[in-house]
Amino acid sequence: MAENSQPLWLTFIVAFIFMNVLLIGMAYMTYFERKVLAAMQDRIGPNRTGPKGLLQPIADGIKLLGKEDLIPKAADKWVFFFAPLLVFVTAIVRVAVIPFGGTVTIFGHPVNLFSADLNVGALFLLAFGSIGVYGIILGAYSSANRYSLLGGLRSAAQVVSYEIVLGLSLVGVFMLSQSLSLLDIMQQQQGTLQFGPVTLPNWFILWQPLAFVIFLIAAVAETNRAPFDLPEAETELVSGFHTEYSAFRFSFYFLGEYINMIIVSLFAATLFLGGTDGPGSDKYWGLGIIWLLVKVIAFLFFYVWLRGTLPRFRYDQLMGIAWKVLLPLALLNIVITAFFRLAANGQLL
């Protein structure tokens, strides 16, 4: 879009800032999860490294860098080396299409608060989420470990199943917005709606509540988080696909999972909760970013809450929920949305 054009060097600076904020957020997401779980389980959590344990993520990173990197003798070494990078890189790249606002003026220069406004931004996010599973499958295959291979097969079946549900759950939003651009979808949710004496935000969650619930369940499964963490089930697969990984190569898998959690939370906040929309965000763009982060933290808390509450599903339950429950509901939501869309346009006979 011409109105969103800016110098290439400025785009690189914005992308660099977003990427580093994402990496810092990923590191402290581990601290956040451990603290929340500790509170739920009447424990203390990290409290020794730095004030209130705030330097624990840095200490963990240094520890992983210093650990011995072991490689199985029968492993396919080149694939074993690069499989974790595939998960990590595809997770980070997805932040490029997340809008943290529109175009603002900083020191007299127009600055886009997004790296790229693709007209298929939502598909870009879904596609790169699907590519990331190849890192899990290749890592499992190259390890020459049967438990790892089983974890990789589980991940392939799980991600394929829930990616279909995830994509179909968003069709209703795309039908209402008539766009696949995340910036466009976010901007359409700005402002409020008036229902008599009640004022409500103009968010798609109000028009697509069923889609939101389906998306939330599928997103948890797609990121391999409890109670859908079958690919790395330690009770039967001894950590599954990353059993043979150690040191910093293991951390790429570990941190890639947390980056995906943050990206999915940003995605959900943008599609269903208006992104940066909130009281005062129309006057102060910085307040809009704060509102977006508050929504993301709420989603991340939900992730941790699920882990501390629900036991892991059996594999047949995992697949049954996708194909027997969520898929029919997603298709039903599309039909209902299409019906009301046509009725609103007066196109029904």
> What would the DSSP string read from start to end of 289-300?
HHHHHHHHHHHH
pLDDT at 170: 94
pLDDT at 158: 87
pLDDT at 1: 43
- Residues 82, 71: contact at Cβ < 8 Å? no
- Residues 75, 142: contact at Cβ < 8 Å? yes
Q: How far apart are CA 343 and CA 280, in angstroms?
A: 34
Specify the 3-state DSSP secondary structure of 274: coil
Residue 317 CB partners (closer than 8 Å, separation 6+): none
Question: 256, exposed or middle or buried, with CB in 10 Å at 0-12, 13-18, 19+?
Answer: buried
Cβ atoms within 10 Å of 287's Cβ, excluding its own: 16
Strands 192-195 and 103-106 come out as: unpaired
Read off the pTM: 0.92
Q: How far apart are CA 318 and CA 182, in angstroms?
A: 30
pLDDT at 3: 46
**Torsions phi, psi for 151 (to 5 deg):** -65, -40
Residue 264 CB partners (closer than 8 Å, separation 6+): 129, 219, 222, 223, 299
pLDDT at 261: 92
Residue type, 193: L
Nearest CA-CA partner of 21 in 98, 128, 129, 112: 98
Successive 10-residue mean pLDDT values, the chain, 349 residues: 65 87 90 93 90 91 85 87 89 90 81 87 90 86 85 84 92 92 91 79 91 94 85 75 85 88 94 90 87 94 92 88 94 93 73
- Residues 121, 285: contact at Cβ < 8 Å? no
Segment holding 111, helix H or strand E: strand 109-112
Specify the 3-state DSSP secondary structure of 193: strand
